[in-house]
Amino acid sequence: MTKEDDKVIPVRVALRCRPLVPKEINEGCQCCLTFVPGEPQVVVGSDKAFTYDYVFDPTTEQEEVFNMAVSPLLSGLFKGYNATVLAYGQTGSGKTFSMGGTYTSAQENEPTVGVIPRVVRKIFQEKSKRMDSEFLLNVSYLEIYNEEILDLLCTSKDKPVLSIREDPKEGIKIVGLTEKAVLTAQEMVGCLEVGNSARTVGSTAMNAASSRSHAIFTISLEQRRGSENSVFRISKLHLVDLAGSERQKKTKAEGDRLKEGISINRGLLSLGNVISALGDESKKGSFVPYRDSKLTRLLQDSLGGNSHTLMIACISPADSNIEETINTLRYADRARKIKNKPVLNIDPQAAEMKRLKQQVQELQVMLLHARGGVAPVSNININTTENVSKILEKNRSLQEENTKLSRELGEAVGQTAMMFERIIMTEQANEKLQGKLEELRAHAACKVDLQKVVETLEDQELKENVEVIRNLQHIILELQVRVTRYAMTSESPEAYTTQHALRQAQLSKELIELNKVLALKEAFVKKMCQNDSQLEPIQTEHQENIKSLQSAVGSLQKEKEELILALHSAKKDTNQAKLSEQRRKRLQELEGQITDLKKKLQDQSKLLKLKESSVRSVAKLNQEIQAMKAQRVQLMRQMKEDSEKFRLWKQKKDKEVMQLKEKDRKRQYEMLKLERDFQKQANVLRRKTEEAAAANKRLKDALQKRSEVAEKRKDVQSRGMEGVASRVKAWLLNEVEVLVSTEEARRHLQDLLEDRKILAEEISQLRQQMDSGERPVAKVRRRTLTISELEGKGDLEASISKQVENLETEMGLRSAQIADLQQKVLDADNEGRMKQRWDSITTIVEAKSALKILMSEVISTSKTANAKLESELKQEQANHIDLQKVLFDERRLMSTMEMEHQSHLVELEQRHQEKASVSEELEKMRELTEQNQKLKDENEQYKQVRESACTNAYYLLQSNMPGCTTSPPGFN
Ligand code: ADP
Ligand code: MG
């Protein structure tokens, strides 16, 4: 395609570094790039400089990028040159942002608008300036994904897959691609918008797509002039948002083998090849592999032809992306095909600053090493700790006392309640019994004089039966007596100690008073009744007496009247004087008798009256007794309610106390766990740091040796075969050492980056806590000691801010170490060195000895390493088995303990229901749980040990047996 006489137009390269994005900031990433003011130069690490046509630092606005780099292309476009703008870089480096691949019309006047919309605006501006010609503008927008071309302007639902045709006249054509003729800038930008949204839809459906697809927005410009209006110039502008370059690493982007790219992105790979073929002076005129991919075929027009091409190499400034950034820088460098001659043009002030910064960094690394890799643990004031533990101690003893007292209280109250319940019950039973007894007593059977019956009876059997009945009669009577006696006795009051018990005591005192009075009254009533019953026979007797007396009085009266009558008649008859004397006497006698009897009668009736009144008072008393009983029941109910209320309250309080205790326990445990976690983390971090430091040293030594070897080489240049062999050997072994230690350093770098990320996360979480004023969340891996939480919020905040400070120092140290290590890796992994690597072998003799050395080196290392590894593996396996056994045992133990714990728990639960307080048992339970937890943790540790042992073994295996996996890099 290329013609010998064609003027070579250099591919221009603009380097664009975006600012750190929030994600990187959150992960604690540092900027690893320096921009030289006033120079199109960027420095990676401390001294690795790259120069491009334009370098845009993170502060550069879109407008500047456009004006400086893109705008000049457009004048070429109007002159008939094809032009291409390629955005290259790893995913997330700002390609789409720079190109305007997310443009929507809403953004129209914003400064963040990317290249394409600005190009459109500019083209129409230019067009309006050139009135002498007629312009026809067409746009197309396509996407290449998986070597398939998709039309982004096609509106139909199922988009056809397009194919490329090569027309001898018109060049490359895409069959069926929508080419939209546009008249205004709005129309053109509208096409961009439509295509962008189509691209977005596609990439959400298939997430990986956007970083693996190329988007090409093409503007073709047809210029007509003259009377026939004939086309005199056709030019095309391709604006390309390339796929993310990071995948190229795996395909060895520097190699020019295509087959590796099949599964990855063929387009990007062949673009690289095309660019180097076009750019390399030495390859000038040789075959350019355009046909290797759709992308290069489509860009064929504009690459290497009459085209101005600009590559915008997008990079991230974050140190975590340093490898990708360097890859991009190298790729862009090659694209520019200009051999770099790194010149550091830094002004004196900046140089001093840089020196000081580096010194600080070195000091930080030293500090880190001196500390053994860990920042100090937050030093909580010892006094406060003591105070807290004292307070805790006091709290505990108070709680214990409280428990004891509540227990006593509960017991006393329980007893009281029980007693009163019993009283009520006995009372009721008593009443019933008395009722029954009364009934029985009233029963006719009791009234029969059985003694008499027995005496009169002759039948022996009947006699015996009656005897039994008589015994029953006795028993009834006896019972009655006993009941009376029982009712008379009253219970003695208990002494109450607790507050609640005092109230209860008051109530019970009232109750007892009441009982006493009641008992007295009842006794009184009983006595009265008894009196009455005793009185009854007398009464009847008296009544009979009265009757007989009355009849006697009547008969006496009669006799008297008769006598008086006789006396009257006798007066007339003196003969009868003697008789009448007798009669008078008798009369007197009778009168005396009558008055006597009358008196007696009077007495009797008095007695009767008395009885009546006593019955009345008994009834009244009984009424009173009933009222009092009701009152007593009321009182007792009140007491019962009170004690029930108290019981509930106490239950609640007990529960609360338990919960508090539980909380406290949990907190303490959490604290322990956090401390343990922290220790673990600190250990891991220290180990990693130490390892990284060791790797750093190893690399440094190797580099040192390399330069020494290089020096020596000059001396021994001419010393024949022996000299050659030893020189080659020293060089080769050193080279291997450099490579191996570089790889190792890379691995440690990755670790350090990861650690820093974790630290940064912790910091931001702590900050959030501080801002929101929340209590720390346990979920977060924290280093805060929870004990400080007990001391209120202010202290908590202080401790958090201290924590943040510590973590920040740690992060700073880690950043320093990262920068340090990256610098070493950069030194070792220099591109120039890679090229030079084999340059030192110039003769067959050298090559042969190198091969020999390599061979023996490989064999010896692999053999010895193999043997060593095998024995190690065996050991590790044995260890593994041992650990598994231990683990198994521990698990079993744990499960039995769990069961014990469960049963214990159940038991305790039961006891808890019986008793109000079970704090001691709980204490035991807590111990058990803690033991349990301890065992669990131990298990965890065993597991970890086992795992790390396995990983170690695996790593050893991998690193020492290169034949097993991949060969060490750099030997191709
Ligand atoms: P890419 O297309 O290379 O994968 P993007 O263009 O999507 O990357 O950019 C990734 C993120 O970085 C986006 O959120 C974008 O807004 C932001 N970004 C890129 N470049 C810049 C810049 N120059 N200034 C500010 N933010 C940028
Ligand atoms: Mg993108």
Q: At 492, is the pLDDT very low, low, confident or very high (cuts 50, 70, 90)?
A: very low
**What is the residue with the minimal CA distance to atom 1 of ligand 1?**
92
Residue range 481-506: mean pLDDT, rounded: 54
Paired with 31 in beta bridges are: 318
Q: What local confidence, expressed as pLDDT, does residue 455 receive?
A: 72
Whether ligand 1 lies within 6 angstroms of the CB of 18 is answered as yes
pLDDT in tens, 197-245: 888 766 554 456 667 889 999 998 888 776 666 656 778 899 999 988 8
More confident residue, 509 or 623: 623
The pLDDT of residue 179 is: 92
- Contact 91 CB / ligand 1 (< 6 Å): yes
Choose the weakest-confidence range: 427-431, 527-531, 574-578. Answer: 574-578
* Average pLDDT value for residue range 405-423: 74
Q: What is the three-class DSSP state of 132?
A: coil
Encoding tokens for residue 612? Answer: 């009546």
Mean per-residue pLDDT for 92-97?
A: 92
pLDDT tens, position by position, 739-749: 888 888 888 88
Least confident of 15-24, 257-266, 449-458: 257-266
% pLDDT > 90, the chain: 12
**498 alpha carbon, distance to own chain's centre:** 45
**What is the 210 CA–ligand 2 centroid distance (Å)?**
6
Nearest CA to ligand 1 atom 12: 94
Q: Can you say whether residue 746 is alpha, beta or left, with left for phi > 0 and alpha for psi between -120 and 50 degrees?
A: alpha
Only one residue has tokens 């200009």, namely 338
Cα 800 to Cα 772: distance, rounded to the nearest angstrom: 12
- What distance in Å separates the CA atoms of residue 339 and residue 847, rounded to the nearest whole number? 29
**Mean pLDDT, the chain, whole residue set:** 76
Atom of ligand 1 lying closest to residue 314 CA = 3
Among the bound ligands, the one closest to the CA of 214: 2
Q: Which residue has the tokens 């443009």?
A: 103
Across the range 810-835, mean pLDDT stands at 79
Residue 96, ligand 1, Cβ within 6 A: yes
| Contact status, residue 219 vs residue 188, Cβ threshold 8 Å | yes
The least confident of 486-490, 802-806, 928-932 is 486-490
* Selected residue with higher pLDDT from 950 and 95: 95
Residue 919 pLDDT level (bands cut at 50, 70, 90): low
Ligand 2 midpoint to CA 891 (Å): 52
Nearest 5°: CA angle at 714, between 713 and 720? 70
**d(CA 937, ligand 1 centre) in Å:** 45
Task: Give the per-residue pLDDT at 766.
Answer: 82
Helix (H) or strand (E) run with residue 150 in it: strand 148-151
CA-closest residue to ligand 1 atom 5: 94
Average pLDDT of the residues in 278-300? 77
Q: Is the CB of 114 under 6 A from ligand 1?
A: no
Distance between Cα 95 and ligand 1 center (Å): 7
- What is the model's pLDDT at position 444? 62
pLDDT in tens, 887-915: 888 888 888 888 888 888 888 888 777 76
Q: Which ligand is nearest to the CA of 246?
A: 1
Over residues 855-876, the mean pLDDT reads 81
Identify the band that residue 571 occupies on the pLDDT scale cut at 50, 70 and 90. Answer: low
Per-residue pLDDT, 318 = 93
Whether the predicted pLDDT of 74 surpasses 80: yes
Confidence band of 916 (pLDDT split at 50, 70, 90): low
Q: Which of 337, 101, 275, 62 is nearest to 196 (CA)?
A: 101
Q: How far is the CA of 21 from the centre of ligand 1 (A)?
A: 8
Pairwise CA distance, residues 733 & 721, whole Å: 18
Centre of ligand 2 to C-alpha 92, Å, is 7
- Of all protein residues, the one whose alpha carbon is nearest to atom 19 of ligand 1 is 94
If you take atom 9 of ligand 1, which residue's CA is the nearest one? 94
Number of the ligand 1 atom closest to the C-alpha atom of 93? 3
- 447 vs 478, which has greater pLDDT? 478
* Whether the CB of 21 sits within 6 Å of ligand 1: yes
Task: Quickly state the pLDDT bin for 572 (edges 50, 70, 90).
Answer: low
> What type of residue is 898?
E
- pLDDT value of position 525: 79
Type and span of the H or E element at 87:
strand 82-89
> Using 50, 70 and 90 to split pLDDT, how confident is the model at 704?
confident
Query: How far, in Å, is the centroid of ligand 1 from the Cα of 63?
Result: 15
Q: Between these two residues, 61 and 337, which has the higher pLDDT value? A: 61
Q: Stretch 632-658: mean pLDDT, rounded?
A: 85
Instruction: Give residue 929's pLDDT band: very low, low, confident or very high (50, 70, 90).
Output: confident
- The whole-number pLDDT of residue 575 equals 65
Annotated binding residues: 89-96
pLDDT of residue 726: 76
Annotated binding site for ATP: 89-96
Looking at the CA of residue 97, tell me the nearest atom of ligand 1: 6
Q: Does ligand 1 have an atom closer than 6 angstroms to the CB of 92? A: yes
Per-residue confidence at 53, pLDDT binned at 50, 70, 90? very high
| Residue 28: other Cβ atoms inside 10 A | 28
Separate counts of helices (H) and strands (E) for the chain:
22, 14
Whether the predicted pLDDT of 346 surpasses 50: no
104-118, 357-371, 574-588, 795-809: segment of lowest average pLDDT: 574-588
Per DSSP bridges, beta strands 134-145 and 41-44 are unpaired
The pLDDT score that the predictor gives to residue 779 is: 41
Per-residue model confidence as pLDDT tens digits over 140-172: 999 998 888 999 998 777 777 888 888 776 677
| Ligand closest to CA 313 | 1
- Please give the distance, rounded to the nearest whole angstrom, from the Cα atom of residue 251 to the centre of ligand 1: 25
What is the biggest distance separating any 2 CA atoms in the chain, rounded to whole angstroms? 212
Please provide the DSSP assignment of 522-548 as one string. Answer: HHHHHHHHHHHHHHHHHHHHHHHHHHH
Mean pLDDT confidence for 373-394? 57
Q: Pocket of ligand 1, candidates 15, 16, 17, 18: which has the most ligand atoms within 8 Å of its Cβ, to mutate?
A: 18
